[in-house]
A and B are shown apart, each in its own frame.
Chain A
Amino acid sequence: MKRKILTTILATIIFLTGCWDARELNELGISLVIGFDIEDDKVLITAEIINPVYSSEEAKGDQIQSVEYVQGIGNTILEASRDITLKFDRRLFISHNKVVIFGEEFAKRGLVKNIDQLLREREHRETAKVLIAKGAKAYEVMGISSGVEQIPANYIAEIVNNIKYNPKTGDVNFIQFLKHYYHEGRHPVAGVVEKKSKDEINKVGNDGSDKDYELTTLGMAVFKGDKLVGYLNGNDTKSVNFILNKIRGGIITFPTPSENQEAENLRDFSSTVIIENKTKRDVEIIDNKVILKAKINLKTSMGEIIGDVDVSNTENIKKMEDACSKAIEEGISLAVKRVQEEFKVDIFGFGVEFHKKYPDKWKEIRDDWDQIFSEAEFQINVNTKIIRTGLINTPLFKIKVK
């Protein structure tokens, strides 16, 4: 019996050390989103902290905010976060952070160099999304929630997750950012968050408060090394996501093909819904010239047809597929050209492909890759398959049998 008791104590004692590190819920300030800025040459941290009183029974009916905002400043991230403890009664707990927002100035100074603390300490989650506050400080975009979500951090996290419905946004977490940063022949990208004035219909009151604004994650931040160098618009972001093989859903809108010249001139548009996408990047050297290649295979479903096209006809489906492919090809070619001319950095990872395919040649050109990339010819081949046409065949305005 003695032995059994001793064994039980020894077996359980190993798990009891947690008491030493125990942190009671009522001692923690649980943060869901955290922002980093540079102010007066110092790091400014803004944390959105859940207000536990908000969800309690006693608070019902009172005007209590769902979250509190706290700020701290210091020469390092750690110093800034400890500065918060002098003003806020709870210790910041960042394990539940889904999103980390960096102010534009912070990102321009270099992200990787300055986020050491986040990856050194175990509390921060490596899978948190990286967002750059476009043209703003991080704290300027925090606190805005124009969705149904009561907590602004959840609102931001959800609109980033909506990449599955609309790939005009960047969805990059810390691990992915670091992986791309370390890759030879690739520069990282990150998501963007921007404060925009709401359309009139959505404004409640007009008191110049945050109710007048909404956030958008349209676009992508482009980095050279770890320094922010600019932004891509929504369409270019979608094209980058295509080449990076990060398309998980969304739609393609293209001019509806029509035999009727009059209809063609009207520039009617149709949309297909992406079901599946596979992109293969490749690089070739032809006549000592580097050719960048992308081959995209897309499975879609017909989402909307505006125009005179009967998709119960195989020939017309083929026309729609070709029109869809052409639209994607044009969009991607434009995006690549813009990145080549405007940023001159390879954010697509063609350099990585070059390294894989021509490892010996890579050793000679690795230092000049961005220059080679910006001057290289780009070839794109898109193969679209429409595998569903929805519940109707011909457009509604067309009478099938007169």
Chain B
Amino acid sequence: MKNTYEKVKLSYNQVLLLIIVLRLILGLTYMPVVHVSKGNQDTWIILLLSIIYKIIFNFPLIYLSNKFNNFNLLEFADKIMGKFLGTIITMFYTIIFLLANILFVTIFVEVLDVALFPLTPTWFNTVLAFITCAYISYKGLNGLCRFGETVVPIIIGGTFFLVLLGVNNFDFSELLPILSDSSFKDLNLGAMNTSFRFADILILVMITPKLTNKKDLNKIFINSTIYSILMVTILIVATQITLGVEYTKHANFPFLIYTRTISIGEIYGFDSLYIGIWIMGNIMKISAYLYFSTIALEKLTRKNNQVFIIPVSIILIILTIFIKDREPILPIAGRLNAIIQILSIIAIIIVPSIMLIVYYFRRKRLRNT
């Protein structure tokens, strides 16, 4: 069994597109930012502000990834924290990747159940999703990024095509008054909250050693942050000015409803175009997280990551069906948001900050090794 991780070299464009789509899918699916309290018509400001917070909060990870650009997150955790703590950190991130995977698959299956296949059993949709994703993950990072190079332009192009088709329904006055119903503090708290939701920095720092030009890391980080948040902002604004701020909050899948309102004369049904591009994006997202879960397991067990793809998929299928068939995922937003937020804060800020502090004290010794 050949290791698909070792010899991979990825270009700037491949990684940029991958990171953008991972974030864009969040906006295309359930737009968590519209539920940020007091955001209302100023949600777009919250999103734009979140760019700054995202850069600030992700600094420890990006800094360390720059310093150890020949190692991925789990490898430099080992270097900085030592073998024992490094293994614990690896275990923690393995759980994060697995949990993220469960979350994405359950949401994916929930949308499929609601919007496309209400009679198809959950297990069938879940198994299908995992067969596809397991195959992509099996092909490795190179395959995933090549798949992304083809698919992501279709996803981005298709999304903006849908936004353009709905222009006739836009009512920009929905966004007024600006900055009057929410205070600067509210918007900043919302922006901080939002910046935690984009956990895809973890994928980026896992990819760093595979970049053809490692100096591209900062450029990819900044550009992907700006591009993806701008794209999500456009989606959210289009949805809010079509459905209204309040109804957008009521909708579990706001952009899906937005696409259902599009018509050209007697032609309806543009939601099927949305579902098509959304499925492609989700397959990429689930595949990426599945792949990196197995890479984390490879690090823990020193066995080839491909060995884990099928067993991990089976466990995730069972867990997803177990969770999904017990209760709906999105309506329990409070619980879900709390879980995502706490995990993101630990994974993106707390653990990397501890590693950064330890690095600061051990930097001379680490430089010599």
Decide whether A and B assemble into one complex: yes
Task: List the interface of chain A (C-beta within 8 A of B).
Answer: 6, 10, 13-14, 17-18, 20-21, 122, 125-127, 175, 178-179, 182-183, 352, 355-357, 359-360
- Which A residues lie within 8 Å of B273 (CB)? none
Which listed residue, A10, A17, A125, touches B260 by the CB 8 Å rule?
A125
- Which B residues lie within 8 Å of A125 (CB)? 260, 268
Which listed residue, B114, B129, B180, B244, touches A183 by the CB 8 Å rule?
B244
- Which B residues lie within 8 Å of A182 (CB)? 244-247
Contact at B124–A20, with CB atoms within 8 Å? yes
How many B residues touch the partner, as a band? 35 or more
Contact at B180–A359, with CB atoms within 8 Å? yes
- Which A residues lie within 8 Å of B268 (CB)? 125, 127
Alpha-carbon distance A179/B257, docked complex (angstroms): 14
Cβ-closest chain B residue relative to A173? B261
How far does the Cβ of A367 sit from chain B's closest Cβ, in whole Å?
Answer: 16
Q: Which of B103-133 contact A (CB under 8 A)?
A: 112, 114-121, 124-125, 128-129, 131-132
- Which B residues lie within 8 Å of A13 (CB)? 128, 131-132
Which listed residue, A18, A175, A352, A359, touches B242 by the CB 8 Å rule?
A175
How far does the Cβ of A285 sit from chain B's closest Cβ, in whole Å?
Answer: 15
Alpha-carbon distance A269/B54, docked complex (angstroms): 66
Cβ-closest chain A residue relative to B171? A179
Q: Lowest 3 A-B CB distances belong to which pairs?
A: A359-B180, A182-B246, A179-B244
- Which A residues lie within 8 Å of B135 (CB)? 6, 10
- Which B residues lie within 8 Å of A18 (CB)? 116-117
- A13-B128, A14-B132 known; A21+B117 contact, CB < 8 A: yes
Contact at B118–A21, with CB atoms within 8 Å? yes
**4 additional A-B residue pairs with CB within 8 Å, beyond A126-B261, A179-B244, A183-B244:** A17-B112, A17-B120, A122-B114, A355-B177
Which listed residue, A179, A183, A359, touches B181 by the CB 8 Å rule?
A359
How far does the Cβ of A246 sit from chain B's closest Cβ, in whole Å?
Answer: 12
Alpha-carbon distance A335/B89, docked complex (angstroms): 70
Which listed residue, B120, B176, B243, B279, touches A20 by the CB 8 Å rule?
B120
- Which A residues lie within 8 Å of B257 (CB)? 126
* Residue B173 CB within 8 A of the other chain: yes
Alpha-carbon distance A360/B181, docked complex (angstroms): 8
How far does the Cβ of B178 sit from chain A's closest Cβ, in whole Å?
Answer: 9
How far does the Cβ of B276 sit from chain A's closest Cβ, in whole Å?
Answer: 9
- Which B residues lie within 8 Å of A6 (CB)? 135
Main secondary structure of the interface of A (DSSP, over half): helix
Which listed residue, A21, A122, A183, A357, touches B120 by the CB 8 Å rule?
A21
* Residue B263 CB within 8 A of the other chain: yes
- Which B residues lie within 8 Å of A356 (CB)? 173, 176-177
Of listed A6, A17, A21, A127, residue having the most chain B CB within 10 A: A17
- A126-B260, A356-B176, A359-B180 known; A179+B118 contact, CB < 8 A: no
- Which A residues lie within 8 Å of B245 (CB)? 182
Alpha-carbon distance A165/B233, docked complex (angstroms): 38
Contact at B244–A10, with CB atoms within 8 Å? no
Alpha-carbon distance A21/B121, docked complex (angstroms): 10
- Which B residues lie within 8 Å of A178 (CB)? 244, 246-247
How far does the Cβ of A116 sit from chain B's closest Cβ, in whole Å?
Answer: 10
Chain A to chain B contacts (Cβ below 8 Å), 21 pairs:
A6-B135, A10-B135, A14-B129, A14-B132, A17-B112, A17-B117, A18-B117, A20-B124, A21-B117, A21-B119, A125-B260, A126-B260, A126-B261, A127-B261, A175-B169, A178-B244, A178-B246, A179-B243, A179-B247, A352-B173, A360-B180
How far does the Cβ of B167 sit from chain A's closest Cβ, in whole Å?
Answer: 15
Contact at A175–B261, with CB atoms within 8 Å? yes
Alpha-carbon distance A179/B118, docked complex (angstroms): 28
Alpha-carbon distance A341/B162, docked complex (angstroms): 44
How far does the Cβ of A279 sit from chain B's closest Cβ, in whole Å?
Answer: 12
Q: Which of B220-246 contact A (CB under 8 A)?
A: 242-246
Mark interface residues in B167-197 (1 if CB within 8 Å of A CB, else 0): 0010101101100110000000000000000
- Which A residues lie within 8 Å of B115 (CB)? 122
- A125-B268, A127-B261, A183-B244 known; A359+B117 contact, CB < 8 A: no
How far does the Cβ of B22 sit from chain A's closest Cβ, in whole Å?
Answer: 19
Alpha-carbon distance A352/B243, docked complex (angstroms): 16
Alpha-carbon distance A247/B117, docked complex (angstroms): 40
Cβ-closest chain B residue relative to A119? B250
Cβ-closest chain A residue relative to B253? A122
